[in-house]
Amino acid sequence: MSNTQDVSAVRREYELDGLERSALVSDPVIQFSHWMDEALVADPNDATSMTLATADISGYPSARIVLLKGFDARGFTWFTNYKSEKGQQLDDNPRAELLFYWKALERQVRIRGKVARVSREESVEYFQSRPLGSQIGAVASEQSHPIPGRELLEQRVEKLTEQGVVECPSHWGGFRLVPERFEFWQGRASRLHDRFRFTATTTGWHIERLQP
């Protein structure tokens, strides 16, 4: 098998900005919120999409994109089907890493921590705020499970649409990651990127610069 693209030659320089220790605030959630504000301006559609990496009990990792739906001092929240692959992995092994890549800003942020389900009230409230089509889609899909064809999914959607009212299923809801570690990465020229890691300690956040 031969490939037509020479991917080895694809590279770019990162020269937009630098990151100094003195520019960081001591609370990484506030630092994240500053970067998120800038990301929302630079790329409003995709700024909140993040890679969620989980691992099963044998240690195999798996990663996929989800949308960040909230963050504050308690943690970082997204919504999904609890019976999906990620949902099952998080039940078995409630640890994860979130990764944001903000291409336009030449930045990435990694956030690692333990994960817990949000309250049922919080999930129901968010579910009800979604457009009806998304609510129906969430109910119709047994996320991550095989299906013989798309028609079956469309039939379920049709039936739910006729019924009109959709309730938040008990297997659908939010997860919240409580951060233990952050990394803020700013691309620099010649691969000499700026990286700062925040690690939670009993006395607060410990900040150190990492080699690129």
Positions that interact with ligand FMN (CB under 6 A): 49, 62, 64-67, 78-80, 84-86, 143-144
**CA 7, 12, 18 angle in degrees (round to 5)?**
145
Q: How far is the CB of 74 from ligand FMN (least distance, A)?
A: 19
Compute how many other C-beta atoms are within 10 angstroms of the C-beta atom of residue 10: 7
Q: How far is the CB of 45 from ligand FMN (least distance, A)?
A: 9
Q: How far is the CB of 53 from ligand FMN (least distance, A)?
A: 10
Q: How far is the CB of 55 from ligand FMN (least distance, A)?
A: 12
Q: How far is the CB of 99 from ligand FMN (least distance, A)?
A: 13
Q: Which of 21, 120, 191, 209 is catalytic?
A: 191
Cβ distance to ligand FMN smaller for residue 172 or 182: 172
> Please, are residues 158 and 67 in contact by the beta-carbon 8 Å criterion?
no
Cβ distance to ligand FMN smaller for residue 65 or 132: 65
What is the 3-state composition of the chain as percent helix, strand, coil, each rounded to the nearest 5?
30, 35, 35
Q: Is 74 a catalytic residue?
A: no
Cβ distance to ligand FMN smaller for residue 172 or 198: 172
Cβ distance to ligand FMN smaller for residue 88 or 199: 88
Q: Name the nearest CA neighbour of 32 among 110, 104, 96, 118.
A: 110
CA distance 16 to 42: 13
> Please, are residues 168 and 112 in contact by the beta-carbon 8 Å criterion?
no
CA distance 92 to 83: 12
* Six-digit token string for 156: 């379920």
Cβ distance to ligand FMN smaller for residue 64 or 74: 64
**DSSP labels, 116-158:** EEPPHHHHHHHHHHS-HHHHHHHHH--TTS--S-HHHHHHHHH
Residues annotated as catalytic are: 191
